[in-house]
Amino acid sequence: MNVTSKGRYALRVMLDLAQHPDDGFVSLKTIAERQGISMKYLEAIVGSLKKAGLLDSTRGKEGGYSLLRAPEEYGVGEILRSTEDKIAPVACIKADGVDCEHARECMTLPMWRELDELTNAYLDTVTLRDLLTGEKWKKA
């Protein structure tokens, strides 16, 4: 699994908005400045996030982006899947199945499928709130 900069930046955008819940709609320029990411690249990222139903937006002078839900209602897996072509451990595993001419006789395929399921299940347990607080990884 290799999360691209698009996926990492999507998490940063979502975290930025989660850190500023009282700011209302936040302009792309503000997010770009706070995160040190080009506006051009952010336009594509927020487009994917909006299309996936993760962000609200408004146009105009006071326009920008905001979260639609509370941070604890966003799973990291959901965010990554909205921007990444795939987050599977091997190239042959696709969102809609397996794309490999050797799939029928591949002895490793069940392992890769299980790893894909485990990875996605784990990413779905981590929320924006977890990333904001870090509590999930603090030792008791």
Closest CA to 15 of 60, 51, 65, 63: 65
Q: Mention every residue, 6+ apart, whose C-beta is less than 8 A from residue 80.
A: 3, 7, 10, 11, 87, 123
Domain interval for residue 10: 5-137
**Whole-number CA gyration radius for the chain:** 17
pLDDT, position 42: 95
Residues facing 65 on adjacent strands: 26, 57
pLDDT tens by residue, the chain, 140 residues = 788 899 999 999 999 999 999 998 999 999 999 999 999 999 999 999 999 999 999 998 888 999 999 999 999 999 999 998 778 888 888 766 777 788 888 898 889 889 989 999 999 999 999 999 998 888 76
pTM of the model: 0.88
What DSSP designation does 39 have? H
Number of domains in the chain: 1
pLDDT, position 99: 75
| 24-54 pLDDT per residue, tens | 899 999 999 999 999 999 999 999 999 999 9
Closest CA to 11 of 63, 114, 87: 87
Q: Are 87 and 47 in contact (CB under 8 A)?
A: no
pLDDT, position 140: 62
pLDDT, position 95: 67
pLDDT, position 85: 74
CATH code, 61 = 1.10.10.10
pLDDT, position 33: 95
